[in-house]
Structure 1
């Protein structure tokens, strides 16, 4: 066999193999994405934001607190936070576009700025104009943009292991390439249960935390139709975000950071604390990247103390005025 025929034969076999695997990948994705967000027994309610179905969970009464989850998170991420805060506040947890039980839209603006505007519109629709906003990981970056773009709407910030735009850009610098290859690699990475669990293990400090119920709560939204496509769109949208300065944040800010976070090292929290004028940093012991879930009692106590600071000051001032008047 001549070298030319051998090369043509190898090329033909390679082409058939690639075509076959691509067909398998599409089949695997269809099997993986078997849920419709609007018919998947979502725990909350929906808002129509410019044609996009946005899922949210609401509980409690009082001053407003808005919760924004991180990458591949959902309202499920706040299942320990919502009940505690709802005893004193009106709590609204929002699934960002492309996450949880919200819609996966084609050719949408998945940038951090775009997501922050969806949150702003949801707040407006729900009558929220002066909220404490809590953001975890990527949700912290969305919350930061919300505070900077709509400062009158955000009275306080809580940033939990919050990513910044520089880190997001670094993580997605090959976004355009990943958007192309993701549909091919996804069956190998996401479909096998062990692959997903292995990734999740790096986010926690104690592996025993990952019970089957918790894994199901995180993995189920990944099975929504269009999820992998929207993930690819997000990888490219991250490069469109402007660099905003944390030093421009005027709201009182609590920074919570898992002391064993291997995804975003505590040094990033220290840097953020140094940049935001009115902020304080609290390291969460025995926690990785998910402190709200690994150490819920500790985090809820710190958040409530922070949210109630002004209330205590106002109460003391009123008591002093009453005493003076008498």
Structure 2
């Protein structure tokens, strides 16, 4: 298939080097399209920039759209050392500082939306407006059996499977399983195309280290949720307690058929944010950006245009 980066972005795949949360130099893959105010997409776990494939062209007609692969995901570097609980927050801050010359619009989905909230709390000047899709802000457990399985497997076993390139050997089987599982996150099966599954699973199958980093992230998330349940200090509780500090205009989009996190979580989040509105996405599963892209794109543009016309806000 045609290189997705080259087909999507005028300059194809680019790279920016940042210092990660452990002060290691890491290369972050990104692409950009359009001109004007920066609009930065932040993907969730087990994902990469491709997850925004149905949103880029539309929003790039109005903004300088930037997609990046978080460290450990997609085409970015994958150092296998242990990570701090807040490493994604620190790294998002540094990516925004490296790629944006003014406060950005941040559009973030799933775990990426939780990271975006924490980033805006710690560095509010980096964000002008915020769009959050299906945020795991009040989680009870990892929402998918595959995530829970990887979180329980000793990391050494996963690393061995990675080194033996088992994902590459089992390529057809993995893609078929993922295709069958897409119905868990996409309400309309028409959006689960062969091309979508091919690109969604591309990094896990093609790049050594991706599966290990994915398992490590699930294990880190499982520990954070357990600490949340036990009342111990954790990143999720910190974000919850500081929601009132997110003062930028915020749009919350929540899928009506999200099997992972109920829309009542979206209502509760809206009630804790000072300047937030909530829209429910009809006939949509957890993967909203690809499951209902027309609705998502229209909602984002309506929100951003209405806010840019408000007093004191930039266009």
TM above 0.5: yes
Q: Is 2:235 aligned against 1:233?
A: no
Which of the pair is proportionally richer in helix? 1
**Aligned counterparts, 1:73-222, within 5 A:** 73-109=47-83, 111=85, 113-164=86-137, 166-167=139-140, 177-180=152-155, 182=158, 192=173, 193-222=175-204
CA RMSD after TM alignment: 2.8
CA contact (8 A) 2:252 2:279 kept: yes
How far does residue 194 in structure 1 lie from its aligned partner after superposition? 2.8
How far does residue 166 in structure 1 lie from its aligned partner after superposition? 4.0
TM-score when scaled to structure 2? 0.78
C-alpha separation in 2, matches of 1:114 and 1:165: 20
C-alpha separation in 2, matches of 1:225 and 1:173: 21
CA contact (8 A) 1:76 1:217 kept: yes
CA contact (8 A) 2:28 2:75 kept: yes
3-state SS in 2 of match to 1:257: strand
Structure 2: which 5+ residue stretches go unaligned? 1-8, 20-24, 225-233
- In structure 1, the residue matched to 2:286 is 289
**Aligned counterparts, 1:16-27, within 5 A:** none
C-alpha separation in 1, matches of 2:56 and 2:300: 12
Q: Is 2:48 aligned against 1:65?
A: no
CA contact (8 A) 1:179 1:233 kept: no
Q: Number of paired residues?
A: 274
- In structure 2, the residue matched to 1:265 is 262
3-state SS in 2 of match to 1:215: helix
Q: Which has the larger radius of gyration?
A: 1
CA contact (8 A) 2:134 2:286 kept: yes
Match of 2:302 among 295, 305, 308: 305
3-state SS in 2 of match to 1:225: coil
**1:149-207: per-residue Cα shift (whole Å, max 9, x none)?**
1011111110011112744678878876434354589969x752332223322111012
C-alpha separation in 2, matches of 1:173 and 1:73: 17
